Amino acid sequence: MTPTDRTNDYSRHVTARMIDFFTVDGMPWPRRLWDVGSILALEELWESGFWQARRVLSPAACDWQRNELRRIIGPDVGLGERDLRREITTLLNGPIPDPSPARRRLAELIHHARDGYVERWARAAAKPETERPKPERLARTVAAHLLDLGYAPEHLGGWISGLNRDRATAAEVIKSAAELARTPAHVVEVLVVLLDVPRRELAERLDNWLDKREVIAWLKQREHDISGLRVGGGMRYHVRAQDPYAAADEARQLVDRMTARASFLRRSRDGIRPAESIWVDGHPTPIPIASPARGADVLALVHEGHLYRVDGPRSQIDDALELAASVNRGALGPALAGAWAAVESLLSDPDDPQEEERSGKAVAADRLAAIIACSWPRAELTALAHRHCPPVPDTLSDRLSTCTTNRERSRILATMLASGDAIPDLSRSRTRHSDQAAIERMTKLLADPRRELGQVAGAFRIALRRLYRARNIVLHGGSTQGVALRAALRTATPLVGAGLDRLAHAMLTEGLAPLDLAARAEVALNLVNGETGLPITDLLEPRRPTDNHHPSP
């Protein structure tokens, strides 16, 4: 392969992964973004001092957060190479309580780190082949930072798709990302059309109220189609946002606040009814008022035929699914509280040791992280196996055609990748570059399963403990204004869905309790590819007498 070919592959990897990260709906959980950026993580740590001082977060939780952050920011070239990096890592070596000189210094360092953060990554991406960062890390880090700045995934998806069509190099992509990072949020006018307005006289007193005639005039002036639109009135808001989709999201939250207040009326509790769309000034088309789903998928309910089986005795899983029901589209506070309640109810127990590091119920996050990590290889390999559909059947497709389970398909593909055979032909797949990146991840995993699975489990653990902290801020701090609450929900929701899916599957097919599945996962992470012969495709499978000829316990 020539240097030009390697550069093209590198750029395609970066672009394909960013497309994965910014795809709002339908992206499987293994290919989504599990991380927040380093700048937001530092801001979150600074804020944690405030909540620790008010006993919302424990000292042990904040110390764990600080130590993990110190470890993961090591390879982040956006934090500089010498002075800035040294100052940050030195500060993270000790506690950062509120108030303290350390906390004041951290606030200053965050300002210095934010300024020029993506530009430093752009310089790294433009270096020679042997010096540039790994494409997966580059894509993850920059994508997370742009989302943390407040850009909507829909807007960023259009941005990266345009660069992909233009065959932009990785260096050009990150240079363009730096321009986005430098662009400040701006004030945008947004119109929310209301179909029904209880206690209209209260709305009419507001300066931002528009009656039916004014709503129609606003829409016509901007050349929007109003055919079939029933109007009872509207609210015009001025919000600060990075893009039209982010502005629409701000408006959604305002609508949520209105409808929440209306629920306290003595009559007409459900009286406020917004139209199905939001209109953003300067944006050519209306934006759905329904927010995109956050990506929690529990497919075991379909695969095992239990989607509509709601009568009969209730299980732990039934209760957990109800608790977590708001995680996909619910308001921020209930979604965070419900998601964590589901995790804690399934994966904590009174007999848990009171370890200082696992203060409170953090052990539930660690257990769920182990379960999800064990399900990751099978999920990726199964998807790749299903996408292998060459125009002319080959040996691999012939072997896959005889399989009756995803376990068999994933084993065949894992064996092929581990042996170094030719990579499957995915040229006909719409997601071929994303699939190629997945093949590289799986090849790396097969080369050193224990190390790679440990790193992935660590990333999941961080995301799920962030969810736990966010829940505590909402329920014990009484606030939905935390700096990382939205990011916590964005990154953790697909993982919660994946975990609930595996827990439901184990319960429905084996009758296995959640804590027992967690124990199986924790053991598997320590035994994978070792003397017991446990393969990466069977980490959550029950051990039977036929497995390595050892009897099940």
**Is-above-0.85 flag for pTM?**
yes
In this structure, the answer to whether residues 435 and 346 fall within a common structural domain is: no
- Does residue 257 share a domain with residue 191? yes
Decide: 280 and 238 in contact? Cβ < 8 Å.
Answer: no
Give residue 91's pLDDT band: very low, low, confident or very high (50, 70, 90).
Answer: very high
Q: For residue range 6-57, list pLDDT tens digits in order.
A: 778 999 999 999 999 999 888 999 999 999 999 999 999 999 999 999 999 9
Return the structure tokens found at 458.
């660590």
Q: What is the pLDDT of residue 388?
A: 85
Torsion from C-alpha of 408, 414, 417, 421, nearest 10 degrees: -30
pLDDT surpassing 60 at residue 553: no
- CA 288, 291, 294, 299 torsion-angle sign: negative
Average pLDDT value for residue range 104-131 = 96
> Average pLDDT, stretch 284-303?
94
Number of domains in the chain: 4
For residues 163 and 239, state if they share a domain.
no
The yes-or-no verdict on residue 2 having pLDDT over 60 is yes
Of the residues 415, 450, 485, which one is the last residue of a structural domain? 450
- Sequence-separated (6 or more) residues with CB below 8 Å from residue 452: 444, 445
Stated as kind and residue range, the H or E segment containing 239 is strand 233-241
Looking at the structure, do residues 173 and 197 belong to the same domain, yes or no?
Answer: no
Structural domain contains residue 142: yes
Q: Name the band, by pLDDT with cuts 50, 70 and 90, for residue 409.
A: very high
The Cα 483–Cα 458 span in angstroms is 22
pLDDT at residue 164 is higher than 50: yes
186-195 average pLDDT score: 97
Report the candidate in 3, 6, 2, 146 with the shortest Cα–Cα distance to residue 440. 6
CA pair distance 524, 65, nearest whole angstrom: 26
Mean pLDDT across the stretch 100-119?
97
Per-residue model confidence (pLDDT) at position 358: 56
| Domain that residue 358 falls in | 300-363+462-523
Q: Is residue 533 part of a domain?
A: no
pLDDT bracket for residue 550 (50, 70, 90): very low
Structural domain contains residue 26? yes
Q: pLDDT at residue 242 above 90?
A: yes
Got the DSSP string for 17-40?
Answer: HHHHHH--SS--GGGS-----HHH
**Confidence band for 150, pLDDT divided at 50, 70 and 90:** very high
- pLDDT band at 551; cut points 50, 70, 90: very low
pLDDT confidence of residue 159: 98
Six-digit token string for 244: 């039209």
Q: Is there a domain that residue 138 lies in?
A: yes
Q: What percent of the chain has pLDDT over 70?
A: 95
Q: What is the pLDDT of residue 260?
A: 86
Final residue in a domain of this structure, among 403, 421, 450: 450
> Is 327 a member of any domain?
yes
What is the pLDDT averaged over residues 274-285?
96
In 3D space, the residue among 405, 407, 333, 418 whose CA is nearest the CA of residue 375 turns out to be 407
| Residue 547 belongs to some domain of the structure | no
**Mean pLDDT of all residues belonging to the chain:** 92
The answer on 27 and 102 residing in a single domain is yes
The pLDDT, as a whole number, for residue 75 is 83
Q: Please tell me the predicted confidence (pLDDT) of residue 5.
A: 64
Task: Examine the domain organization and report whether 401 and 494 are in the same domain.
Answer: no
> Under a CB-based contact definition with an 8 Å cutoff, are residues 143 and 15 in contact?
no
Quick one: which H or E segment has residue 240? strand 233-241
The proportion of the chain whose per-residue pLDDT surpasses 90, expressed as a percent, equals: 81
Within 8 A by CB and 6+ apart from 410, the residues are: 377, 378, 381, 382, 385, 537
Residues 228 and 239 occupy one common structural domain: yes
pLDDT (mean) for 105-127 = 96
How does pLDDT run across 311-325, given as a tens digit for each residue?
A: 888 999 999 999 999
Q: Which amino acid is at 84?
A: L
